[in-house]
Amino acid sequence: MYSAPPPAADLARLLLGAEFQLRGAGGVITETEAYSLDDPASHSFGGPTTRNRAMFGPPWHLYVYRIYGLHLCINIVGRPGEAVLLRAIDPQIGCDVMQMRRNRFPLALGPGRLAQALGVEMSDDGKPIDGNRVSLTLNEVNTTEILTGARIGISRAQDKLWRFGLAGRAHSRPFRPR
DNA sequence: CTTACGATTCCCT
DNA sequence: GGGAATCGTAAGC
């Protein structure tokens, strides 16, 4: 967990099935997307800026950004310039709190909903996964249970199949059979 | 089921 | 000033 992270796409698969918690709310990660340095769809493409600086910080930290002027999205930083977007979790811990924050269903399908349910704030950007306020527990997942697809909502590098999901779990959007 | 659109913030060109 | 790693709502098929 505090070891050197694998390349972004491998990290995205590794995080599937993991238990993620933020300040007492969380669940099992069921959908992720990988973003690498050499990737025109990544915020890190082109080098460090004020917004993306956490992506160039230490691994196993959070990268949080605002999207479309409204929603927040949460990533786990891997290698320098790389991160994994958390797109969906299966709620397990603090469901009552998540329901209070969301006030509607689904609770955590989609990066914006997930961030709202977990109470993510911009001040969480760059925070470490310290096992206390933010915790991550990896779980073994069989390769045959991993679904693959194109990333959502991007305009560049749409050919990369760097969206991953856990079979038999709820996702923000369906995975087309491949 | 699908597609379409407006809301709204802030980084980057 | 453009446009974005989205969501909720509405309307059409």
CA-to-C1' distance for A154 and B7, Å?
19
Cβ atoms A128, A61 nearer than 8 A:
yes
Cα–Cα dist A164/A10, whole Å: 10
Q: Note the pLDDT tens digit of each residue in A85-144.
A: 999 999 999 999 999 999 999 999 999 999 999 999 999 999 999 999 999 999 999 999
Residue A76 CA distance to nucleotide B3 C1' (Å):
32
User: Residue written as tokens 């509607």?
Assistant: A104
Say if residues A16 and A30 touch (Cβ distance below 8 Å): yes
**Rounded Cα–Cα distance for residues A88 and A107 (Å):** 9
Q: Who contacts A174 (Cβ-Cβ below 8 Å, separation ≥6)?
A: none
pTM of the model: 0.96
| Residues at the strand B interface (Cβ < 7 Å) | A 46, 49-52, 66, 68-70
pLDDT for residue A31: 96
Task: Dump the DSSP string for A143-157.
Answer: GGGEEEEPPSS-SS-
Query: A2 pLDDT band (50/70/90 cuts)?
Result: confident
What is the mean predicted confidence (pLDDT) over A16-41? 96
Q: Which residue is nearest to nucleotide B10 (CA to C1')?
A: A69
Residues 83-102 of A near strand C (Cβ < 7 Å)? Answer: 83, 85, 102
Percent of chain A with pLDDT over 70: 98
Q: What is the signed CA dihedral for A71, A1, A32, A70, rounded to 10 degrees? A: 0
Q: Which nucleotide is at minimal CA–C1' distance from A110?
A: C6
Q: At A176, is the pLDDT very low, low, confident or very high (cuts 50, 70, 90)?
A: confident
> Which neighbouring-strand residues pair with A146?
A166
Specify the higher pLDDT residue, A42 or A177. Answer: A42
Q: A63 beta carbon < 7 A from strand C? A: yes
List bases, strand B, within 7 Å of protein CB.
Answer: 7-13
A47-92 pLDDT tens trace: 999 999 999 999 999 999 999 999 999 999 999 999 999 999 999 9
Residue A178: the pLDDT is 55
* Integer Cα distance of A121 and A44 in angstroms: 20
- A141 Cβ within 7 A of any nucleic strand C atom: no
A35 touches strand C (CB under 7 A): yes
